[in-house]
Amino acid sequence: MGRILIVEDEEKIARFIELELKFEGYEVDKAFNGRDGLELAKTQPFDLIILDIMLPELNGIEVLRRIRQFSNVPIILLTARDAVVDKVAGLDGGADDYITKPFAIEELLARIRTVFRKKGMDDSPETSGKLVLGDLYLDTMKREVRVKDNQIYLTKKEFDLLQYLLENKNIVIPRETILDKIWGYDFCGETNAVDVYIRYLRGKIEEPFDVKIIHTVRGVGYVIKDE
């Protein structure tokens, strides 16, 4: 169904929204200030965030700005009546929608459904930091990888490499490009580092599970795609 984070310092409002959302079948977490909200958004996966703008510790616009540095999770802002500046700043800052207080709960529920519908249309796993390809699942926020529901432990480089390939799935990426992106321009080790790490990845995510998704393009580089 979906997990929703409510960041709202007026606890009565937060509880009321929580109750209604739970009644609709959503899982709900709450934070009562901007800092806690940001921390939760950083450390836990959410499908949507309802974010009040007037918040203690860190205001909603700032929380929004910081979340957008690491996640595309859909965000609906709660704004005070007639706060036009807030709305503009919020939408410029990457909010998906806003709703003006006081609002009818039905209106909020409708906005949530619309956001989920849109998200579904533009490939939901990727917009929430989750990359999926066949039996492979990678969560960029939790830095978690699963193949056929088995958790896979990758080193940082292996993870970065896999994420990069997944973000460019179906695109052949030259070895040099991979080297630049993952190891950096000033890397002066062996150029076959890419091949070595591809071998590590295959040993962890393909061979044990009889999966074949990383393909070698002879003389060029690699592409990740479903069989």
The site for Ca ion (CB under 5 A) is made up of 9, 52, 54
Closer Cβ to Ca ion, 101 or 130, answer by number: 101
In whole angstroms, how close is the CB of 205 to Ca ion at the nearest point? Answer: 45
Nearer to Ca ion, 78 or 161 (CB): 78
Kindly tell me which of 54 and 109 has the beta carbon lying closer to Ca ion.
Answer: 54
Question: How far is Cα 58 from Cα 34, in angstroms, rounded to an integer?
Answer: 4
CB atoms within 10 A of CB 223: 17
Q: Is 188 exposed, middle or buried (0-12, 13-18, 19+ CB in 10 A)?
A: exposed
Residue 209 vs residues 70, 150, 193: alpha-carbon distances, Å? 31, 9, 24
Hey, how many other C-beta atoms are within 10 angstroms of the C-beta on 87?
Answer: 16
Query: Which residues lie below 8 Å from residue 202, measured CB to CB, with a gap of 6+?
Result: 214
- Listing DSSP states for 44-56 in one string gives S--SEEEEESS-S
Closer residue to Ca ion, CB minimum distance, 59 or 140: 59
Strand partners, 224: 214
- Least gap, CB of 107 to Ca ion (angstroms): 18
CB of 78 to Ca ion, least distance (A): 7
- Say if strands 144-147 and 150-152 run parallel, antiparallel, or are unpaired: antiparallel
Shortest Å distance, C-beta 30 to Ca ion: 13
Return the residue nearest Ca ion (CB atom). 54
Pick the closer one to Ca ion by CB: 83 or 105. Answer: 83
Q: Could you count the other beta carbons within 10 Å of the beta carbon of residue 120?
A: 10
Which of 7, 154 has the CB closer to Ca ion?
7
Give the nearest distance from C-beta 74 to Ca ion in angstroms: 20
Contact 7, 51 (CB under 8 A): yes
